[in-house]
Structure 1
Amino acid sequence: MTTHRVYLDTEFTTLNRYRAQLISLALVVPGGPEFYVELTDTWSAEDCSPFVIDTVLPLLDRARYGRTTDQSRAELLAFLQALGPVEVITDAPDHDWPLLLWLAGPTGLPANVQPEPGHLPIDLNATYSGDEPPHHALQDARLLAALAEKTNPA
């Protein structure tokens, strides 16, 4: 059975890893399904750095994508379980991976998901020469997937 590469990106309240709270999370399967949620019950604007307030928050669409933590967790686990074998890949494992684990909850990720993040097969700084990514988890995960798969197809 083929292992699916799933590209992860998150947005969070601050770069301080000990205080960061998850704002949004995206998972993108190249050429396949996508998962995206914006959490509604875990953070407030007062928790956010000035950068997040100015750059990340204006891009959110909580009316469309807003979910509670419990709703987000249930949808995340169902999405991952439906894929079969999964390797989650991120360009920021020190930030994104702990937030994914937090959202997965006390039972952890489903057994079909590899227990550690996968290796990103590219150097983003050398590969990407476009504008600054938008700091929107879904758009950034799509960009990451496109760049990684272009340089290292499955």
Structure 2
Amino acid sequence: MRLFLDCEFTELSQQAKLISLALVAEDDREFYVELLDAWREEDCSDFVREIVLPQLWGGEYAMPVIEARAALLRFLATYEEELEIVTDAPAYDWELFCELAYHDGKWPQNVRNFPIDATTLTAKNDGEELPHHALLDARIITSMFS
């Protein structure tokens, strides 16, 4: 089972901090979370402040890292089959996913420990322009490849 990953983060650098993370599975199940305590507005680039932050949904999706990690691990555990994570930004999205998924020295048993780079796959369509919202972007990426 492939899960398409997209993240929003503070800046395009190795110091990037996770703001939001989304997974959309080939079976149409979705996971979306926004982190409350992993970043500050001062950490964000101008682009992120202007484009990404105004699109955050808040409410039930916004939670501390500890709760977000638990929610992610619960979601991943609902699958019995091996999960392949597909991302178009392995240098950022995959690394941030790993930071959230890797906990207490353990990796989720049913998740492959390396990503599939979406840019190496053949797209069914060109998709839409990504709006820079993790869940909406993950839905578009999923539609391009599944």
Q: Same fold (TM over 0.5)?
A: yes
Report how far residue 65 of structure 1 moved. Answer: 0.9
- TM-score scaled by structure 2? 0.90
Unaligned 5+ residue runs, structure 1?
Answer: 150-154
Displacement of 1:14 in angstroms is 0.3
Q: 1:5 and 2:2 equivalent?
A: yes
Match of 1:41 in 2: 37
Following TM superposition, by how much is the alpha carbon of 1:75 offset from its aligned partner in structure 2, in angstroms?
0.7
Change (3 A) 1:129 1:88: closer
Note the alpha carbon deviations across 1:77-97, whole angstroms, 9 max, x for none.
111111121000001001011
Cα distance change, pair 78–129 in 1 and its aligned pair in 2 (3 A): closer
TM-superposed CA distance for 1:25, in Å, is: 0.2
Q: 1:23 aligns with which of 11, 19, 23?
A: 19
Q: 1:32 to 1:107 in 2, by over 3 A?
A: farther
- Please, what TM-score do these two structures have when normalized by structure 1? 0.86
The residue number in structure 1 matching 2:145 is 148
Aligned residue number for residue 111 of structure 1: 109
C-alpha distance in structure 1 between counterparts of 2:25 and 2:48, whole Å: 26
Q: Deviations over 1:81-140 (max 9, x none)?
A: 11121000001001011100101134343111011002421369xx4264x310000000
Does the 8 A contact of 1:40 with 1:62 survive in 2?
no
Structure 1 Cα separation of the partners of residues 51 and 79 of structure 2: 32
Structure 2 distance, partners of 1:48, 1:110, is 30
The percent of aligned pairs where both chains have the same amino acid is 44
Structure 2 unmatched ranges of 5 or more: none
- 1:94 pairs with one of 88, 91, 96: 91
Q: Give the CA RMSD over aligned residues.
A: 1.6
What SS does the aligned partner of 1:95 have?
A: helix
Aligned residues: 142
Distance 1:46 1:71, change over 3 A: same
Partner residue in 2 for 1:122: 122
